Structure 1
Amino acid sequence: SKMNYWETYNASEGFFGIQYTPDSEDMLLLLDNEVFYEFIPNGQWKEENPQTLTLNEVEVGKKYAMLISTSGGLWRYLLGDTIIFTSLEPYLFKIAGRTKHFINAFGEELMIDNAESALQEACEKTGAKITEYTAAPVFFDDNNNGAHEWLIEFETPPSDIESFRKALDTSLKSLNSDYEAKRSFGLSLRMPIIKVLPHNFFYQWMESKEKAGGQNKVPRLANNRKYVDSLLEFLLQSTKIE
């Protein structure tokens, strides 16, 4: 018999949502689990005194970071996840990403949901499958505008890496108007830079940091080059050893 898996949204801080119907991964926000919810609109997550909304003020299709206060003693605790409401009657939502996982070095506001969707589309167009990836900004210098650098480990490489790069860029522009504006005429952002990493490379890098397995995950997007530069340095060292 077929086994059905249902999406849930829970953490050590509480149980917040569960899949509402079998044919959609949208989750129902649980309102009777002794949790009071507040929501910080996209663009204000890093503000010292951000605008906060209560449940009756949220809108469908907009990204929010979620604050919780609980009977267990948490007070306005920022979970670090971002959600998008898909319905207000009842309150249904999807996880959009993490508040820390974004690139906004040039005002492009690239979030994880855009990145995942664009990569999926690029994979479908080029027959590729991705194992792991991370991306970070390449900052302006005297000779070049900014860019996004993508380090990708493929399970199945694309039929043509240049086609993959163009498909990724095109999809990001269609999904994110801020990215499209910054890419217009190459004024702020150049085409994405793609670096293909060897099989199992991300795991080896995590292992070298003693962070392999368990709850440790490769950061998908970062607004700085900490992870990307570390990976590239590890690649350089690995190449020298070989």
Structure 2
Amino acid sequence: MLAAERRDHLLGLLAREGKVVAKDVAADLGISEDSVRRDLRDLAAEGLCQRVYGGALPVSPAVVDYAARQSVAQDGKRKVAAAAAALVRPGGTLILDGGTTALAVAHALPRDLACTVITHSPTIAAALLDHPQAELFLLGGRIFKHSAVACGAAAVEAVQNVSADLCLLGVTGVHPEAGLTTGDAEEAAMKRALAARAADTYVLASSEKIGTASRFRVLPWEKTSGLITDADPRDAVVEQLRALGLEVLPAN
């Protein structure tokens, strides 16, 4: 089989099966695992898959820059945001992560809602300036421009001094095996710090993120209260997530 044919075969497996297991592909095609791993390295370099131990997973489309992500899955993000905003109770305290789905949540919060919002995202804080009953706390630190959020030691230290009823957390990938992932190590650490300061943490994931993975793991499933997604409830990955014991809240 030519290299181009192997490439198409691997991409087809990712689309159909949601993963590539290098040893299985090598056995099926009668080639070495080294050849498969080399092909996967090439695909990963082009941004077409996320390499993991033993093979590869579909890459998340949410790893492009912040401006570009604002035009991705806008309808799905609005649906997820509406379902997430409904979890915020009057008088409650919310930790709201950064990113484009979290920004949609900020826009979905009722303008007259009396609550406290803690965020490390300047864009989230700015979006809530016209909510007269919302008290805002902006956590500072080094700004990670890819997601327009504060990260690093100063931001992680700042979040240790707050607590909340609810944390709404964004990720770039949701996969039964890879877990909840994002593309930057410091951002992943910041997300863990945010989630640790809330009684409940719900993950925001529009359908294009379901079944995909990024480089850095954020949280194990047991550290979350549930997942909010507009993905089809009958989707095979969603069913696998439920089988893991994860509460999946539909956003339709």
User: Which one has the bigger strand percentage?
Assistant: 1
Q: Same fold (TM over 0.5)?
A: no
Greater relative contact order, per chain length (Cα 8 Å cut-off, separation 6+): 2
TM-score using structure 1 length: 0.22
TM-score using structure 2 length: 0.21
